[in-house]
Structures are given as structure tokens and as C-alpha cells.
Amino acid sequence: MVLIKRYRFFLATATILLVISLVNQEIGSRAVGVVGYTFREMAMIIPPVFILLGLLDVWIPRETMMRFMGEGSGVKGMLIAILLGSAATGPLYAAFPVASVFMKKGVKFSNVLIFIGAWTRSKFTQYQTTPKLWINSQYLRNLQ
């Protein structure tokens, strides 16, 4: 029962997917394709992120985090937050667990928000994919 309650959101969406697939096979199969892609992406990113967070939780004492990014860390704390957020890879949902560990470790609240902002906004790790993107856009142009 508890299991059903915990997974009710997933069960609801899965049911909708099933119904839509029965009504319209084309949309259904497209949706399944996207689900497969997203699942692979998450399966790639989530494990290392959570392991790194576990290590951080165990090894880095609260005092250290507070000294670098806590109250009174000033500009240094902000810069660290921006750097960490920009260097990180992955979609927004991967940032939430990191942010919650930060909050637990006494990182200043505004620095947590700066971190999230940098994560979503400045992505210097993604510039590496530019050549591929360019090819993609060429491909898309040819499709039109």
C-alpha cells in the first residue's frame, strides 16, 4: 500500500501513456521513444551525482562548507557557487539533490540560489557539444 502511494504519480502518468498508446499509436510510440531517451540520460547522470553527494556528505564537515559558502563567506562563497553551478553538467532536476545537501551542510541560502541559477543559466561545459549541435542544425535545415 505504501509502495502504491509512493509511486502513484508514476502510475498515473504510466496509465495515461498506456491509454494514449491505445488511442493513438503514433503519439504513443513517440512518447515511449522519448521516455527511453530521457531514462538513459537520467541513468547516466544520476548515479555519479548521488555518489559524489554521498562522499561530500561523509567527508566534508559542516564547518568547512560553512566557512567556504556559509554566512559571512561573502564574495568568495558567491564565486564558488557560480563556479560549481557552471561546471556542473546535467539538467535542472539533477541540481535539486545537490542544492538540498548544500542547505543541510549550512551553505548560505542565497548561495544555494546562486548555485541553482548558475546551473540553469551558464553552461560552459556544454560548449563542447557545439560542433555536434551545428551538424544537428544543418540536418534540421535539410529537413525543412
Partner 1 sequence: MTNIALYLATVLLLGLSYTRDRGKTRKALKKALKAFKNILPQFLGIIVLVGLLMAVFDAAFISRLIGQESGWLGVLLSAVVGAVTLIPGIVAFPTAAMLIQGGAGYMKIGAFVSALMMVGVVTLPVELEYFGRRLSIARNLLAFLFSLLVAYIIGKVCGGLWF
Task: Compute the distance between CA of residue 3 and CA of residue 5 in angstroms, rounded to an integer.
Answer: 5
- Dihedral Cα 74, 80, 81, 83, nearest 10 deg: 140
| Cβ neighbours of residue 116 closer than 8 Å, sequence gap 6 or more | 85, 95, 99
Give min distance, CB of 72 to partner 1, in A.
Answer: 22
Interaction between residue 23 and partner 1 (CB under 8 A) = no
Nearest CB to partner 1, comparing residues 8 and 76: 8
Query: Contacting partner 1 (CB under 8 A), which of 1, 2, 9, 22?
Result: 9
Q: Which stretch binds partner 1 (CB under 8 A): 67-75, 76-84, 116-124?
A: 116-124
Residue number with CB closer to partner 1 (75 or 92): 92
Alpha helix stretches (DSSP H) within 2-144:
2-6, 8-23, 25-59, 62-69, 74-87, 92-104, 109-121, 130-143
User: Does the protein bind partner 1 through residue 60 (CB under 8 A)?
Assistant: no
34: contact with partner 1 by CB under 8 A: yes
State yes or no: residue 19 binds partner 1 (CB under 8 A): no
With cell 502511494, the residue in question is: 5
Put residue 7 in one of left, alpha, beta given phi > 0 → left and psi -120 to 50 → alpha.
alpha
Here the cell at position 42 is 537520467
The letter for the amino acid at 110 is S
Q: Would you tell me which residues interact with partner 1 (CB under 8 A)?
A: 6-7, 9-10, 12-14, 16-17, 20, 27-28, 30-35, 38-39, 41-42, 44-55, 57-59, 89, 91-93, 96-97, 99-100, 113, 116-117, 120-121, 123, 125-126, 128-129, 132-133, 136-137, 139-141, 144
